[in-house]
Amino acid sequence: MKFGIYLPEVALRRKKCPVLYWLSGLTCTEQNFVSKAGAQRYAAEHGIIVVAPDTSPRGNNVPDSPDYDLGQGAGFYVNAKREPWAKHFRMYDYVAFELPALIESEFASSEARSISGHSMGGHGALVVALRNPGRYRSVSAFSPIVAPSQVPWGQKALAAYLGDDREAWKQYDAVELVGNASERLPLLVDQGGDDEFLNTQLRPQLLKEAGEKAGYSVQINMREGYDHSYYFIASFMREHMAFHAKVLT
Amino acid sequence: MKFGIYLPEVALRRKKCPVLYWLSGLTCTEQNFVSKAGAQRYAAEHGIIVVAPDTSPRGNNVPDSPDYDLGQGAGFYVNAKREPWAKHFRMYDYVAFELPALIESEFASSEARSISGHSMGGHGALVVALRNPGRYRSVSAFSPIVAPSQVPWGQKALAAYLGDDREAWKQYDAVELVGNASERLPLLVDQGGDDEFLNTQLRPQLLKEAGEKAGYSVQINMREGYDHSYYFIASFMREHMAFHAKVLT
């Protein structure tokens, strides 16, 4: 597994910096965020390490699908139960536990963690944070898939990786999880108003409604004129980094 | 010819924004700067339009070379005189006159211009600004080839595009031009101290010495630990944009 890591200058002197994990979207590798989001400057200012894992296992011996939204590049941050995926596609465990253990042993020596992501990675960030009370200090997402059980990308991936038992899907659905959250960590979403996937795959109003029903104050910023791209992410990266820094540093 | 353009919100309301031209380095297209430099946020804050042309003409009918440092992707911002390049490779005229005429007619309606660039594009920015007194308000460069007549990249390109007459090369050599500049526009260079091309292809001390000899105050910032990449550019883009904004806005 490859990952991108940004170490602010202060992290080279003392290994005590907090860590922001970033989960990328469909088709991305560990490189997209690193080269396009412009996060390093803000991470340097706040003294935050940023870690950007790949979106799936990779390699010739790893199962794949010809579709861009299943298999390599599309791990969906679940622990797969069905074949041929079950052996390698354990991205939930990887991003929530295995990778943090490595980072905290080698680079950070800090358990101050936050998590963020884009699209499929926004889904991953919300799920990982909501399922692990106390483990993360804050969570944010750009253009997240908030209800995979209710949209085509999510239904395809969850059926393939987990099978048809829709009860099992609930553990990977932020709209299902937000109502049962035992800890209400700060939660921020930014969503572009001109995002081509807004009404078909993302549907942030479902998260808003679930939050309101549960009395969980979820901040969702609709940004008119912005699309689904990394230009949108770069436009509001400073605000997301400041949001996490407030509780991390 | 393709180019990237960033229009700050204020430019959509009134066509009076100044323009910063950005010239990219070897192998780049109009996309590298647009997706990797993180300039848009600062351009938005200052109300500056940013225009990033391609680095050469392109296409199946355009001459090319198998080498990365000659032909398509390597126009070197000269008007070629030798075949097979002379017909298409007129990048000097394109970036200095043709493209600004188009931009100012379609997007800007302003003659407030500055110019910047990276590596081969830093060379281009310096040459275009120094050869056209009064046309640009400021010039900056990251890791520029300051003396193409004296380094392998430049010698190869100038010989191929212009021929062996070294007198003709002087019009495309910033170290030659800086001594004769009739207008001393603000000039800023940032150079990474760990740049692998520092002592072979870039040699910024030659520009420093030529500036000192001519009494032209040239600001060259050596940045220890930085390399030749777009990460270096992104790290100091805010400072370069502020440098240009001071005289553009």
Residue B158 has pLDDT above 80, yes or no: yes
How is residue B160 written in tokens? 């191929």
**CA–CA dist A188, A13 (Å, integer):** 31
Average pLDDT over residues B32-36: 97
pLDDT, tens digit (0-9, with 9 covering 90-100), for B95-120: 999 999 999 999 987 889 999 999 99
pLDDT, tens digit (0-9, with 9 covering 90-100), for B139-155: 999 999 999 999 999 99
Q: Which residue in chain A is spatially nearest to B230 when comparing CA positions?
A: A35
Q: Residue B145: name the closest of B131, B134, B155, B135 by CA.
A: B155
The B residues from 147 to 206 touching A (CB cutoff 8 Å) are none
Q: Residue A222: name the closest of A245, A243, A249, A199 by CA.
A: A199
Cis check for the bond before A144: say yes or no (omega within 30 of 0): no
Neighbour count for residue A93 (Cβ, 10 Å):
12
- Judging contacts by C-beta atoms under 8 Å, the chain B residues touching residue A38 are 38, 41, 234
What contacts B142, CB < 8 A, 6 or more positions away?
Answer: B116, B117, B118, B119, B122, B189, B190, B191, B232, B233, B236, B240
Domain of residue A98, residue span: 3-246
- Give percent above pLDDT 90 in chain B: 93
Inter-CA distances, A26 with A18, A88, A121, B161, Å:
27, 17, 8, 44
Give yes or no: A195 in active site.
Answer: yes
The reply to whether residue A35 touches residue B38, judged by beta carbons under 8 angstroms, is no
Average pLDDT over residues B48-53: 98
Q: How many domains does chain A have?
A: 1
pLDDT, tens digit (0-9, with 9 covering 90-100), for B198-247: 999 999 999 999 999 999 999 999 999 999 999 999 999 999 999 999 99
pLDDT at residue B182, rounded to an integer:
85
pLDDT at residue A111, rounded to an integer:
86
Residue A8 has pLDDT above 90, yes or no: yes
pLDDT at residue A93, rounded to an integer:
98
pLDDT, tens digit (0-9, with 9 covering 90-100), for B72-97: 999 999 999 999 999 999 999 999 99
Inter-CA distances, A76 with A20, A56, A72, B73, Å:
19, 8, 10, 37
How is residue B20 written in tokens? 């910063």
Nearest-Å Rg of the Cα atoms of chain B is 17
- Give percent above pLDDT 70 in chain B: 100
What contacts A70, CB < 8 A, 6 or more positions away?
Answer: A156, A157, A160
Contact B193, B182 (CB under 8 A): no
Contact A241, A48 (CB under 8 A): yes
Q: What is the mean pLDDT of chain A?
A: 96
The reply to whether residue A38 touches residue B235, judged by beta carbons under 8 angstroms, is no
Average pLDDT over residues A113-132: 98
Residue A14 has pLDDT above 80, yes or no: no
Count Cβ atoms within 10 A of the Cβ of residue A240 and give its class: 0-12 exposed, 13-18 middle, 19 or more buried.
buried
CATH number for the domain spanning A209: value is 3.40.50.1820
Q: What is the mean pLDDT of chain B?
A: 96
Strand B49-53 and strand B3-6: the pairing is antiparallel
Phi and psi torsions of A151, nearest 5°: -130, 155
- Judging contacts by C-beta atoms under 8 Å, the chain A residues touching residue B36 are 35-36
pLDDT at residue B113, rounded to an integer:
97
Residue B14 has pLDDT above 80, yes or no: no
- Beta strands of chain B (E only): which ranges? 3-6, 19-23, 49-53, 113-118, 139-142, 187-192, 219-223
pLDDT, tens digit (0-9, with 9 covering 90-100), for B57-69: 999 999 999 999 9
Q: Is A222 helix (H, G, I), strand (E, B) or coil?
A: strand
**Which value does ipTM take for this structure?**
0.87
Instruction: Label residue B54 left, alpha or beta by phi (over 0 means left) and psi (-120 to 50 means alpha).
Output: beta
The reply to whether residue B238 touches residue A35, judged by beta carbons under 8 angstroms, is no
Q: Which of the residues A24, A119, A138, A143 is marked catalytic?
A: A119
pLDDT at residue B110, rounded to an integer:
82
Interface test with B, best of A35, A236, A239, A240 (most B CBs within 10 A): A35
H/E stretch holding A159 reads: helix A152-162
Residue A146 has pLDDT above 80, yes or no: yes
- Lowest-pLDDT range of A50-54, A161-165, B8-12: B8-12
- Judging contacts by C-beta atoms under 8 Å, the chain B residues touching residue A50 are none
The model carries a pTM of 0.93
pLDDT, tens digit (0-9, with 9 covering 90-100), for B183-193: 899 999 999 99
Inter-CA distances, B218 with A99, A160, B139, B140, B247, Å:
47, 61, 10, 10, 16
pLDDT at residue B218, rounded to an integer:
95
**CA–CA dist B28, B35 (Å, integer):** 12
Q: Residue B233: name the closest of B98, B154, B141, B126 by CA.
A: B141
